[in-house]
Amino acid sequence: MHVKNSEVTELPDGQKIHCLGISTSPRRNGNTSILLQRALEGASAAGAETELIYLNDYRFSPCLACDGCFKEGRCVVKDDMQLIYEKLLGTNRIILAAPIFSMGMCAQAKAMIDRTQRFWSTKYILKRDVIVDKEKRPTRKGMFISAAGSDRESIFDGSERVAKYFFLMLEAEYAGCYCYPSIDKKGAVLEHPEALEEVHGAGFALGRPQA
């Protein structure tokens, strides 16, 4: 079990929390999807509004490295990533769930994260905030969930670095990773009630007004 947590910070009074869960696995009810659903149940129990999307329902290309976003901070490729951008910008809690394939984050997750280049351009080329009207929103936070069939040492390290970059580009404070090795066969995580309970608690903490 590989768990890291961030410190809890207080949010402004009266702010509503919306938690977006992104399931990136090509397996609809794979282990990371099950963990994500459990985490969202925790967030909902804490009073947050929750939304779950499956990345395989969206059609988008990898980043073309065309630098088109350098002008206005917008991606010039018109595909379903435009819909995902809206969701990423419109929420204040994000849970990214991605399994480990071939020692790294699955290709679907990485392709989406590569397309957040537009936010990098906004921050570092155009020197603008990604999230406007910050004072009107709670502090944004992001959490990473993963599972791997292997128990190889440091198997999650590379993917966690990518997840941290993803949340940094979205101006979301990193709220920790919940990553579980030696869970491979579809649905095998159901045989690990401690993992399901742990992500439920993490989701609850993320969904609290004090999270």
The letter for the amino acid at 89 is L
Task: Map tokens 């910008």 to a residue.
Answer: 89
pLDDT (0 to 100) of residue 209: 82
DSSP 119: H
| Mean pLDDT per 10-residue section of the chain, whose length is 211 residues | 40 75 94 97 96 97 96 95 96 97 96 97 95 74 96 94 97 96 93 97 92 52
Classify the phi-psi angles of 115: left when phi > 0, otherwise alpha if psi is within -120 to 50, otherwise beta. Answer: alpha
pLDDT (0 to 100) of residue 139: 84
- Domain containing 179: what range? 2-7+14-207
Residue 52 bridge partners (DSSP): 21
Burial 197-206 (b: 16+ CB within 10 A, else e): ebbbebbbbb
Q: Crossing angle for the helix pair 107-114 and 157-169, nearest 10 degrees?
A: 30
Residues 6 or more apart whose CB falls under 8 angstroms from that of 67 comprise none
Cα–Cα distance, 185 to 30 (Å, whole number): 8
Identify the CATH number of the domain in which residue 41 sits. Answer: 3.40.50.360
The letter for the amino acid at 172 is A
Domain count within the chain: 1
89: three-class secondary structure by DSSP: helix
